[in-house]
Amino acid sequence: MYFSSAEETGGEGGQLALFRHKQEKPLSEYERFPKDEDTILLESVSPQDNKAAIFLNTKNSYHSVPLVKNAKAWRNFIYFGLTAKTDSLWY
């Protein structure tokens, strides 16, 4: 959940980028860190006040955030992650 917008903090970068693998395969066969050329950018989400980005973090939940440069203020946000010692919580 973002509590400040890109306009408020200024600078460049910091968008949440969401990708998918070019090749469909069973979930267990996806590599954790694929090569850039094996993924396709689906969406780039800019920080906005009171906007949340929620997704399952699985072996094929590819995402990144470019480095924020020249910001005039700190970005305010909350990050929450749920982890477990099992292969999956969902099946």
Q: How high is the pLDDT of residue 72?
A: 92
- For residue 66, the number of C-alpha atoms closer than 13 Å in the C-beta half-sphere is 12
Q: How high is the pLDDT of residue 90?
A: 65
The pTM score is 0.80
Task: List phi, psi (to 5°) of 21.
Answer: -75, 145
Please list, in sequence order, all residues whose beta carbon lies within 8 angstroms of the beta carbon of residue 50, skipping any fewer than 6 positions away: 1, 2, 3
Q: How high is the pLDDT of residue 91?
A: 61
Q: What does each of the 91 residues of the chain score in pLDDT, given as a tens digit? A: 888 888 899 989 999 999 999 999 998 899 999 999 999 999 999 999 999 988 888 889 999 999 999 999 998 889 888 777 776 666 6
Rg value, the chain, Cα: 15
CA distance 67 to 54: 20
Q: How high is the pLDDT of residue 69?
A: 93
